Amino acid sequence: MDIQRLMSLSRKAIDDYGMIQDGDSIAVGISGGKDSLTLLMALAGLRRFYPHAFSLQAITVDMGFPEAAEGLLPIKQLCDSLSVPYTVVPSQIAEIVFEDRKEKNPCSLCAKLRKGAFNTAAKELGCNKVAYGHHKNDMVETLFLSLIYESRIYCFSPVVYLDRMDLTVIRPLMYVDESDIKGFAKASQLPVFRNPCPADGNTRREYVKQLIADICRENPGARDRMHAAILRGNIPGWPEKQNCQKIQHAPGFRE
Tens-digit pLDDT string for the chain (255 aa) = 999 999 999 999 999 999 999 999 999 999 889 999 999 999 999 999 999 999 999 999 887 676 667 778 999 999 999 999 999 998 877 777 766 666 666 677 778 888 899 999 999 999 999 999 999 999 999 999 999 999 999 999 999 999 999 999 999 999 999 999 999 999 999 999 876 666 665 688 889 999 999 999 999 999 999 999 999 988 888 888 864 444 343 333 344
Residue 157: predicted pLDDT? 95
Please state, in angstroms and rounded to a whole number, the distance separating the CA atoms of residues 9 and 21. Answer: 18
User: CA 169: distance to chain centroid?
Assistant: 9
Residue 50: predicted pLDDT? 96
Region of 169 on the Ramachandran plot (φ > 0 left; ψ -120 to 50 alpha; else beta): beta
CA distances from 115 to 56, 153, 255 (A): 18, 23, 11
Residue 173: predicted pLDDT? 98
Q: How many helices (H) and strands (E) does the chain have?
A: 10, 6
CA distances from 29 to 24, 128, 208 (A): 16, 14, 24
Name the DSSP class of 101: S
Q: State the DSSP H helix or E strand holding residue 175, giving kind and residue range, or none if neither.
A: none
Q: Model-level pTM? A: 0.88
Backbone angles phi and psi of 8, in degrees to 5? -65, -45
Residue 253: predicted pLDDT? 38
The number of CA neighbours under 13 Å toward the Cβ of 226 is 22
Contact assessment for residue 190 and residue 38, using Cβ atoms and an 8 Å cutoff = yes
Give Dmax (Cα) for the chain.
49
Residue 250: predicted pLDDT? 35
Backbone angles phi and psi of 186, in degrees to 5? -70, -45
**What type of residue sits at position 201?**
G
109's CB contacts (< 8 A; 6+ apart) are 96, 97, 101, 103
113's CB contacts (< 8 A; 6+ apart) are 91, 93, 96, 97
Q: What is the per-residue DSSP string for 27-63?
A: EEE--SSHHHHHHHHHHHHHTTT-SS-EEEEEEEEE-
Domains of the chain: 3-247 (3.40.50.620)
* Among 33, 37, 45, CA closest to 5: 45
Other CB atoms closer than 10 Å to residue 225's CB: what's the count? 11
Residue 138: predicted pLDDT? 96
